[in-house]
Amino acid sequence: MDVISVIRTKRDRGELSPEQIDWVIDAYTRGEVADEQMSALAMAILLNGMNRTEIARWTAAMIASGERMNFDALSRPTADKHSTGGVGDKITLPLAPLVAACGAAVPQLSGRGLGHTGGTLDKLESIPGWRALLSNEEMLHVLDTTGAVICAAGDGLAPADKKLYALRDVTGTVEAIPLIASSIMSKKIAEGTGSLVLDVKVGTGAFMKTIEDARELASTMVALGTDSGVRTVALLTDMSTPLGLTAGNALEVRESVEVLAGGGPADVVELTLALAREMLDAAGIKDVDPAKALADGSAMDVWRRMIAAQGGDPDATLPVAREQHVVTAPSSGVLTRLDAYGVGIAAWRLGAGRARKEDPVQAGAGVELHAKPGETVTAGQPLLTLHTDTPEKFAYALDSLTSAYDIAAAGTEFTANPIVLDRIA
């Protein structure tokens, strides 16, 4: 077996054999296949796709590259959630403690930013002292004592995916549906959760731009999970506009805490509750209203215990960027569009994301929104505030925002997309 033959097979629109898939995943994990060679194969997969048999085998090979966890010893049923990535998508932060407060155990293995989308671990690492890297024993201890844990996948869990995930981020291959599906599901199946809810984003700020592509991805992942004995359901949710009023790391943590305190933007609260209800139902927990756990403070209690259990200080002051730049409305009227992709690229350019897999991120960098589509704005009022420690990046970030919003005449009717567009089970 040699990597050049594998690359050529997919380059020439051929079907990879089970033996080719098993070999290339194992060889890449061991370092026998170089990053540039796997980059070429990933690009060939992006351009030419994979059939269901190839995707299932690729996922199985990713799982086989490492260990599998088991949560049978827990007294609670397990439920996990995964988002395909969006702009301002901080939902995991309030969702995990909320579902735990309602009686499920939430083993949330999360990742770092991919391209213009933010990463849950990058966000939480803006909390002083908080640790993303836990041993399996530490993860189980936090899960058992608090009901929820948000952490990085350990080195032993689908190590092939850990390498490929970082490579996709910096080689323009993030959007490949087979690679997205296998990356997500290899970790979730190996993780050992009993049920899984997928939040598949659709729109300009998502990797899936069309509802058809989102359904294809969701159906592929639901089938992979179900065939592996994991109760799996997917919601297709709108990502044409950023979620909430922030896109960045510490900015989104601050907003998540507002949600846990019973406030926060309406769209973030709505999606958090929709996903919480799906997770509780998949875990077999009935007649529990997650809205009550937000209102009575029990979800906040779990958040504080969870953050402290991972070394973080839930009372610490979050980092703030040294420099700000305000973008004002050029005219009065109704804001009819605020493009999620443009805002995501701006946040990435300001330092909230990374251009290379080894790059650090700025905790305080990002974009703050002062209006959402459907709201009336006045000429000169703040629309967006850009945050960064490196002000020389403002001009580059502003380039991505020049055509990212539209303001129509006062009185223009506006109808927002529903947050939940479809459900696949």
Note the pLDDT tens digit of each residue in 267-323. 999 999 999 999 999 999 999 999 999 999 999 999 999 999 999 999 999 999 999
* Tens of pLDDT, residue by residue, the chain (425 residues): 899 999 999 999 999 999 999 999 999 999 999 999 999 999 999 999 999 899 999 999 999 999 999 898 899 999 999 999 899 999 999 999 999 999 999 999 888 887 788 889 999 999 999 999 999 899 999 999 999 999 998 778 889 988 998 898 789 898 888 998 999 999 899 989 999 999 999 999 998 999 999 999 999 999 999 988 999 999 999 999 999 999 999 999 999 999 999 999 999 999 999 999 999 999 999 999 999 999 999 999 999 999 999 999 999 999 999 999 999 999 999 999 999 999 999 999 999 988 776 788 999 999 999 999 999 999 999 999 999 999 999 999 999 999 999 999 999 999 999 999 999 99
User: Buried (b) or exposed (e) across 217-227, using 16+ Cβ within 10 A?
Assistant: bbebbbbbbee
In this structure, the answer to whether residues 359 and 394 fall within a common structural domain is yes
In a domain? residue 11: yes
Q: Strand ranges (DSSP E) for 77-147?
A: 80-83, 106-110
Is residue 55 assigned to a domain? no
Catalytic one of 90, 168, 188, 305: 168
Domain match, 16 and 89 both: no
Whether residues 131 and 108 fall in one domain: yes
Which of 173, 193, 159, 170 is CA-nearest to residue 80? 193
Domain assignment of residue 59, yes or no = no
Whether residue 423 lies in the annotated active site: no
Q: Verify that 155 and 294 share a domain, yes or no.
A: yes
Look up the CATH number of the domain holding residue 124.
3.40.1030.10
Using CA atoms, how far residue 223 sits from 157, 201, 282, in Å, is 21, 18, 15
Q: How far are the Cα atoms of 219, 229, 232 from residue 423, in angstroms, in the given order?
A: 10, 19, 11
Residues 87 and 224 in one domain: yes
The count of domains in the chain is 3
Backbone angles phi, psi at 230, to 5 degrees: -105, 120
User: What is the crossing angle of helices 3-11 and 35-48, to 10°?
Assistant: 20
CB neighbours of 191 closer than 8 A, spacing ≥ 6?
69, 80, 107, 109, 153, 157
Cα separation, 264 vs 241, whole angstroms: 17
Whether 142 and 85 share a structural domain: yes
Q: Percentages helix, strand, coil for the chain, rounded to the nearest 5?
A: 45, 15, 40
State the Cα–Cα distance between residues 370 and 139, nearest whole angstrom.
Answer: 38
pLDDT at 256: 98
Establish whether 168 is a catalytic residue. Answer: yes
Are residue 159 and residue 282 in the same domain, yes or no?
yes
Residue 180 included in any domain: yes
Same domain, 130 and 87: yes
Q: Note whether residue 191 is domain-resident.
A: yes
Measured CA angle at 182 (ends 176, 186), to 5 deg: 155
Residue 69 domain-assigned? no
237 and 365 both lie in a single domain: no
Beta strands 231-238 and 195-202, pairing class: parallel
Query: Residue 303 carries which side chain, given as an amino acid letter?
Result: W
The per-residue pLDDT for 357 is 66
Indicate if 335 and 372 belong to the same structural domain: yes
Residues spanned by the domain of 32 = 3-49
295 and 376 together in one domain: no
Residue 139: inside a domain: yes
The residue out of 309, 339, 365 marking a domain boundary is 309
Residue finishing a domain among 309, 344, 372: 309
- Active-site residue 161, yes or no? yes
CA diameter of the chain? 66
From 82, 215, 231, 305, active-site residue: 82
Give the integer Cα–Cα distance in Å for 3 and 40: 10
Q: Which of 10, 123, 187, 393 is catalytic?
A: 187
pLDDT at 118: 80
Query: In this predicted structure, what is the pLDDT of residue 201?
Result: 96
Please state whether 179 falls in left (phi above 0), alpha (psi between -120 and 50) or beta: alpha
419 is a domain residue: no
Question: Residue type at 271?
Answer: L
Catalytic residue among 183, 240, 256, 400: 183
Do residues 235 and 375 share a domain?
no
Q: What is the pLDDT of residues 325-362, one digit of tens each?
A: 999 999 999 999 999 999 999 999 999 988 776 788 99
Active site residue 82: yes
Instruction: Report the CATH number that the domain containing residue 36 is assigned in CATH.
Output: 1.20.970.10
Among candidate residues 80, 89, 122, 161, the one labeled active-site is: 161
